[in-house]
A and B are shown apart, each in its own frame.
Chain A
Amino acid sequence: MTDRKPSVFERHAATTPKDFRNSVALGWTLIAWALASAGSLTLLNRFESLIPDGPISWAVAALPAVLGIVLLFVFTRYLRETDELQRTLQLQAVSIAFGGTYFGFAAYGSFEPLGAPPATFDQYFVVVCGVYTLVSFLNWRRYR
């Protein structure tokens, strides 16, 4: 049994160092994916003339999808290697965020024929992020 003094991180941030490394990797991948998505859409919609037709424009369009696949792998690794409580809480937050928002938007769709403005995928994504953040915050408060 080791008698190593817990690091400042272990004492205060309440996750293992491996969790921390995976969380950091997940965070950076998420940022890269978000920037690539926003950048790709902006380039293709607003600066179309700057991008030559052909392979380059296809590469710009495909970049978010490629990073999205990388993000899935990084998130899966994070879930596999994190401790069991964190895994449960993350899965709960993700399922409530995607599932809850989907049902919310499906319910909202019933009001669109009555004149409500149509919901877009961008709005769905923003709400998913908001719900995920809210559930994560509530879980953090409950289990800190």
Chain B
Amino acid sequence: MKNRIKVLRAEQDWTQAKLAQELGVSRQTVNAIETGKYDPSLPLAFKIARLFGQRIEEIFVDG
């Protein structure tokens, strides 16, 4: 699953560590999601969407 987290993070000028801290997960998890190696759970996807003020489908794209 593709996502726009890296772009959204860059717009906020946040590091992966900063985003991980905001989400309460490890930096490894943020990195794995950004690079498409890992798809987050639904609760974490909602948390990401809320943090960036967008809907889940605006951040995560199937395919």
Which residues on A are within 8 Å of B, measured CB to CB?
Answer: 1-2, 4, 6, 10-11, 14-16, 19, 83-86, 88, 142-144
Contact = CB atoms under 8 A, between A and B. Distances in A.
The SS class assigned to the B binding surface is helix
A1 B44 CA distance: 17
Given A6-B21, A10-B20, A10-B21, A83 B37 contact: no
B54 interface: no
Given A85-B38, A143-B37, A14 B21 contact: no
Interface of B: 15, 17-18, 20-22, 24-29, 31-32, 37-38, 40-41, 44
B40 to A, nearest CB: 7
Contact of A83 (B17, B18, B26, B31): B26
B28 to A, nearest CB: 5
B44 A14 contact: no
A31 B31 CA distance: 31
- Of the candidates B15, B32, B40, B44, the one having the most CB atoms from chain A within 10 angstroms of its own CB is B32
A14 B22 contact: no
Contact of B29 (A6, A84, A142): A84
Given A6-B21, A10-B20, A16-B26, A84 B41 contact: yes
A83 B24 contact: yes
B26 A15 contact: yes
A83 B28 CA distance: 10
B37 A16 contact: no
